[in-house]
């Protein structure tokens, strides 16, 4: 975190991000400065009263209102950070990291910086020994997204921002993963195949099924991609109290589709994970006596 500790534990330091939560559950994200203060309808809380305190303490404003102070998790930061574009929700970020198998020390090329949520998640996953290269075409978007990245990414030296169009090519070679958050990822399929190592993973996040269809056709036509799979992640929270247990009335349902594929030796006709799974299910059903 800029000016403070990048480790989300221990006492608050100047430059840290602090998540302040009032008694009604409203959340406020602030960057701590020794001369700063948090001002709201429930009163004023000088930053100096937060700096040096342990996480989880309840602090009082000038009007006697309690505020719980914590360092934000990545999920909390993503939902509350300044946005220059539609953010990828935490439920999708977690699955992207697992489905793309982002590991410490890996080299990842991504495109579409957006508000920086995915970049932050990737940087955390690759660690100090890995690297993330981000392609972005809009300078205004890059400035907003990088401000968020600098606030949360623990190892900024492992990140490279390239102002360029990934549809025109990928400079890097022998990369482990290509992760795309762009509207027409099929235009980058060829370049991704050339950049990825054998066994490398291609992943794309798209909002509509029509985009997914066009992407899957492009992956299938390129003989170097196999194991094509598309999933959608739905998240339903529950309210659990002494008197009742029930799902919440509103849930984060569809946000996007995640499509993955593996870089393999050239082979005519891509294998589809869903198709094989469906065939296996039909065979099992037909074998039941």
Distance separating alpha carbons of residues 185 and 114, to the nearest angstrom: 15
Confidence (pTM): 0.83
CATH number of residue 30's parent domain: 3.10.330.20
Would you state the pLDDT for residue 113? 94
E strand or H helix at 229 = strand 225-232
CATH number of the domain enclosing 246: 3.40.50.150
Could you tell me if 49 and 180 lie in one domain?
Answer: no
Could you tell me if 57 and 80 lie in one domain?
A: no
Domain range enclosing 103: 76-283
Q: Give a yes or no: residue 10 inside a domain.
A: no
Q: Which helix (H) or strand (E) holds 110?
A: strand 107-111
Per-residue model confidence as pLDDT tens for the chain (289 residues): 444 445 567 799 998 999 999 998 899 999 999 999 999 888 999 999 999 999 999 999 999 999 999 999 999 999 888 776 778 999 999 999 999 999 999 999 999 999 999 999 999 999 999 999 999 999 988 988 999 998 887 567 899 999 999 999 999 999 999 999 999 999 999 999 999 999 999 999 999 999 999 999 999 999 999 999 999 999 999 999 999 999 998 888 899 999 999 999 998 766 666 655 556 655 665 655 4
126 occurs within a structural domain: yes
Closest CA to 179 of 160, 202, 149: 202
Residues 47 and 153 in one domain: no
Strand pairing class (131-136; 159-163): parallel
């Amino acid at each position: 975190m800029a000016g403070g500790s990048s480790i989300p534990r221990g006492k608050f330091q100047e430059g840290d991000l602090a998540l302040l939560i009032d008694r009604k559950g409203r959340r406020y994200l602030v960057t701590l400065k020794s001369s700063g203060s948090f001002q709201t309808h429930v009163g004023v809380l000088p930053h100096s009263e937060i700096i040096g305190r342990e996480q989880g303490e309840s602090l009082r404003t000038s009007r006697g209102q309690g505020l719980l102070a914590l360092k934000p998790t990545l999920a909390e930061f993503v939902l509350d950070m300044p946005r220059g574009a539609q953010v990828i929700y935490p439920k999708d970020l977690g699955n992207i990291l697992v489905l793309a198998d982002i590991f410490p020390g890996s080299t990842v090329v991504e495109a579409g910086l957006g508000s920086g949520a995915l970049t932050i998640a990737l940087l955390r996953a690759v660690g100090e020994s890995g690297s993330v290269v981000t392609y972005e075409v809009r300078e205004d978007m890059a400035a907003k997204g990088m401000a968020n990245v600098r606030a949360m990414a623990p190892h900024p030296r492992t990140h490279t921002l390239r102002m360029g169009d990934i549809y025109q090519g990928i400079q890097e070679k022998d990369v482990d993963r290509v992760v795309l958050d762009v509207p027409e990822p099929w235009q980058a399929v060829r370049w991704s195949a050339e950049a990825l190592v054998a066994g490398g993973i291609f992943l794309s996040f798209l909002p509509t099924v029509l985009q997914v269809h066009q992407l899957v056709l492009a992956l299938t036509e390129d003989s170097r991609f196999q194991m094509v799979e598309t999933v959608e992640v739905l998240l339903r929270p529950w309210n659990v109290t002494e008197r009742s247990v029930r799902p919440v009335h509103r849930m984060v349902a569809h946000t996007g589709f995640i499509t993955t594929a593996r870089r393999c030796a050239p082979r005519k006709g891509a294998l589809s994970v869903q198709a094989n799974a469906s065939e296996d299910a039909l065979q099992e059903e037909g074998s039941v006596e």
